[in-house]
Each structure stands twice: as C-alpha cells, then as structure tokens.
Amino acid sequence: MSGTGWRDPARLREALRVYVVTDERPDGAALVPIVERAIAGGATAVQLRRKQELGRRFVELGRALRDLTRRAGVLFFINDRVDVAAIVDADGVHVGQDDISCRDARRILGEDRVIGVSAETVEEAVAAERDGADYIGVGAVYPTRSKPDAGFTGLDGLSTIVSRVRIPVVAIGGIDLENAAEPMRAGASGIAVVSAVMSATDPEAATRALAARVRAARPE
C-alpha cells in the first residue's frame, strides 16, 4: 500500500474533527448512501464498524466506502478487521482493547497507515500511545445506546486523558448536537458519532450541524 500522509500530526488532527462510525443495521448496503450524505455534510473521517458482518460482505462494503471516501478526500478506517483494512486499502484501522494489538496491526499494515485505539482509562490511553497508536478513541463520554457494553469515562476522564497523552484524542459515546461542544472544550481533537448521523432523518444536515458546533467550540 502506498503512503497517504494521514499520519502527519496536523493533518490527522484536522481529519478527526467530525468522525462518523457506521451502525449495525441489518441491511449493510443501506450504509453507503447514508455515509455519502454524511460526507456531503462535512464528515472528515468515516469508520466501517460491522461486528457481525461476514468477511466477504465486509470487504464489499469496505470497497464501496473506500471509493466514496477516496473521492472526497476523507479519512477511512476499518474497525477491528486489520485484514479487511489491508484488502480494501483503508487509510487505517481502529482497534479496541480486546482486538488485535496496536503493535500487531502496525506489523501488518506498515508505517503509512493510521492506527486508532479505544481507551476508557488513562492507563489504557498511555499504553496505546507507547505502543504506537496515532490517536485514542475515548469513551463513553456520555451514556450511549449504540454500544451498550461501553465503559463510562465521562468528560472529566476525557480531560484527564487529553492531558496525559500527546497524540489526538477523539471523544465517543452518546454525543449529539446538544452536547457536541463539551468534549471539544475538554480538549478533544474531534468527536465520533454513530446514531446522531446514522439514525438522522437527514444525515447531511445532521453532519453539517455537528461540524458547525465543533468549529465553534475549537475554531483553531
């Protein structure tokens, strides 16, 4: 895979501002037009997350979203499946604490790809940075229905983690238009959302409103 330049710290921070994660709806094909509208509304990063998807279908969806994101210049991640990320030429992968390790993902994907790691605690975040993560996904910062098994970090935990690592931190969990500014004010480089966009009546308008809220909270 050729280099993409996304690991440049300044470029990566900007690309993580409005991060849309797909949901687990039964009809995976329905994700594609929603993501297309989210990108039109200002999504800066997209993650394909399908925990129950069979491998071949996962690759098909990954290729479809890879095409959309590449044409739009939007950062594209695969959740967990490092093999799928390599096959579809994703810009990177996002792994959880129980997924393949950051170090092993790096061995497979090489030095050009972005690797994000989920963390609920300072200890997990510091360990991820030490292991070579490019950014940390921290949450849940609010209670969330999209991932009911997620641990709770809260805004205070988010702020503490931001103060302890040098790499970008993305807030996730229960974020919507009403509270989107708060994680940014706590120091996050960006917000990651699922239902706030994926379940919106108008995904483009929902994303545009979130992007405006993020810019207002962290205009720099």
Whether 118 is a known active-site residue: answer yes
Whether 49 is a known active-site residue: answer yes
The residue from 13, 17, 66, 147 that is catalytic is: 147
Confidence band for 133, pLDDT divided at 50, 70 and 90: very high
| Residue boundaries of the structural domains of the chain | 9-217
pLDDT digits (tens, 9 = 90+) for 137-182: 999 999 877 666 667 899 999 999 999 999 999 999 999 999 999 9
Name the CATH topology of 9-217.
Answer: TIM Barrel (3.20.20)
The residue from 81, 118, 146, 189 that is catalytic is: 118
Report the pLDDT value the prediction gives residue 164, as an integer from 0 to 100: 98
Report the pLDDT value the prediction gives residue 2, as an integer from 0 to 100: 42
* Mean per-residue pLDDT over the chain, rounded: 95
Report the pLDDT value the prediction gives residue 180, as an integer from 0 to 100: 98
The CA distance from 129 to 117, in Å, is: 9
The CA distance from 19 to 48, in Å, is: 11
Q: Tell me, what DSSP letter sits at residue 207?
A: H
* Placement of tokens 């409005």 in the chain: 18
Report the pLDDT value the prediction gives residue 212, as an integer from 0 to 100: 97
The residue from 13, 49, 66, 208 that is catalytic is: 49
Tokens at residue 104, please?
């092993």
Report the pLDDT value the prediction gives residue 112, as an integer from 0 to 100: 96
